[in-house]
């Protein structure tokens, strides 16, 4: 049987709503205490209770509610039977308090689409929460609850990156909505990529600590009680824990939290500006490498961070800031953990040996300008939201910046664009023989009335030509 990637909030139907809280900025994030490994086998066998007592008060339950319209079978509507109804649907997950004035980190998929979010503390008190920042690609969201005059227990975010395979860990959360639960295990692997193939998904912490529905957004902590990861998803054939769970590592968590506390509402990842390919055994053999490890530079964006730092096509990046690069995803991850303006030292293998290059962490270029538009009028694109593709937009929507240029459909709306079968992600290449390179080109092309529309779009790397009648 096939194992599936399972996001792990507990889902429920709910009935009531509550208002959002106000935001206050106060204390700083807590720094982790020095790491202390067990000194003996006896120490390993001792109770986890001291760690749990320290950690448990900072782990919370999160419920998210949203209104969903239930559609009725059109057959019954013909006879006036039934009508669309609204119902409240929700999900349950976990979260971690990371600042004492009520700043909480959780998974984005726990709160995505939520119109009301409620946080229940370990002492059962409940507070409405507001979203400070939500990022779907990292699957992290930062929430804020108001606790005037009170300092809540927190967990320190340990982003030092000194975790090792075999380290003992605890997973704390609210599985199945039964109440706070603690499970233990070890770090099974580090720097895991998402088995589903999601881009830039390197460096997950894999653990065999039991993680079940409702654990999403909960804490993965070490034996010092520091937060080393946020539990996110599992691989399972049954939907329950099979001992293969994945947590988002603390360096990513800290970057998201600090971005939110800085007032930003979106997380902008530094962009290397290079198309990368993981070194496999065939590439390693062709390049004369002893082992198939590292990231091969297949292309460099003109004027990007890689180009400015001296990176060239054919280089193999083997390390970042003294840490090994195992594949393309781990290199992208390492760059993304830097703040804009910071520098990173790359170990690069070339014909003459290994060289060290310095690249600056910079956001992806925004050229050409975004120029987002909603197409109106009597034409096949009516109702579609379109945008000019730049590296910034490509990173935002998760497509290859090197291969995607032109005008992309972001949304189809409810007009003709949806009816003719356009999809988000389609790239518009031609309209009635006219090449479309910008949203301005598209607006000009559809402003000319026509009875027949000949359209060429690119979808999944293939061009599709269709003829439509007005």
Query: Which residue numbers are catalytic?
Result: 109, 139, 216
H/E segment holding residue 251: helix 250-261
Whether 389 contacts 408, CB under 8 Å: yes
Provide the residue count of the chain.
470
At 78, is the secondary structure helix, strand, or coil? coil
Joined together, the tokens standing for residue 347 give 């170990």
3-state helix, strand, coil in the chain (%, to 5): 15, 35, 45
Give the whole-angstrom CA distance, residue 419 versus residue 468: 11
Q: How many Cα neighbours within 13 Å face the side chain of 119?
A: 30
H helices of 375-463, where? 391-397, 416-419, 439-446
Buried b (16+ CB within 10 A) or exposed e, 285-316: eeeebeebbbbbbeebbeebbbbebebeeebb
Q: Which pair of tokens denotes residue 159?
A: 């982003």
């Amino acid at each position: 049987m096939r194992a599936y990637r399972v996001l792990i909030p507990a889902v429920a139907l709910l009935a009531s709503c509550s208002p959002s809280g106000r935001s206050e900025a106060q204390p700083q994030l807590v720094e982790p205490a020095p790491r202390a490994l067990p000194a003996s086998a006896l120490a390993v066998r001792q109770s986890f209770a001291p760690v749990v007592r320290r950690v448990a008060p900072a782990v919370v339950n999160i419920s998210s509610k949203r209104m969903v319209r239930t559609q009725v079978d059109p057959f019954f509507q013909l006879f006036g039977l039934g009508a669309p109804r609204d119902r409240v649907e929700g999900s349950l997950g976990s979260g971690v308090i990371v600042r004492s004035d009520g700043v909480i980190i959780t998974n984005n998929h726990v709160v995505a689409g939520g119109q009301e979010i409620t946080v229940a503390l370990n002492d059962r008190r409940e507070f409405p929460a507001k979203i400070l920042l939500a990022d779907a690609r990292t699957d992290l969201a930062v929430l804020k609850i108001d606790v005037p005059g009170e300092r809540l227990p927190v967990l320190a975010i340990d982003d030092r990156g000194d975790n090792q395979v075999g380290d003992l860990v605890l997973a704390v959360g609210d599985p199945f909505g039964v109440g706070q639960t603690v499970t233990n295990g070890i770090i099974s692997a580090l720097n895991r990529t998402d088995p589903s193939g999601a881009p830039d998904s390197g460096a997950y912490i894999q653990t065999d600590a039991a993680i079940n529905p409702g654990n999403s957004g909960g804490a993965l902590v070490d034996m010092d009680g520091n937060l080393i990861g946020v539990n996110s998803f599992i691989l399972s054939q049954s939907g329950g824990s099979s001992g293969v769970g994945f947590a988002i590592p603390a360096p990513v968590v800290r970057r998201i939290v600090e971005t939110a506390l800085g007032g930003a509402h979106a997380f902008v990842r530094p962009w290397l500006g290079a198309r990368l390919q993981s070194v496999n055994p065939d590439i390693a053999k062709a390049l004369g490498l002893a082992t198939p490890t590292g990231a091969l530079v297949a292309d460099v964006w003109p004027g990007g961070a890689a180009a400015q730092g001296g990176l060239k096509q054919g280089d193999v990046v083997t390390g970042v800031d003294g840490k090994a690069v195992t594949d393309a995803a781990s290199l992208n991850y390492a760059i993304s953990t830097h703040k804009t303006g910071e520098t990173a030292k790359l170990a690069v293998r070339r014909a003459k040996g290994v060289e060290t290059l310095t690249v600056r962490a910079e956001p992806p270029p925004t050229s050409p300008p975004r120029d987002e538009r909603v197409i109106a009028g009597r034409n096949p694109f009516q109702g579609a939201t379109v945008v000019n593709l730049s590296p910034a937009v490509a990173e935002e929507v998760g497509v290859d910046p090197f291969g995607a240029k032109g005008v992309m459909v972001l949304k189809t709306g409810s007009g003709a664009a949806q009816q003719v079968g356009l999809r988000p992600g389609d790239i518009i290449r031609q309209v009635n023989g006219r090449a479309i390179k910008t949203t301005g080109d598209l607006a000009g092309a559809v402003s000319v009335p026509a009875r027949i529309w000949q359209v060429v779009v690119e979808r999944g790397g293939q061009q599709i030509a269709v003829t439509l009648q007005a």
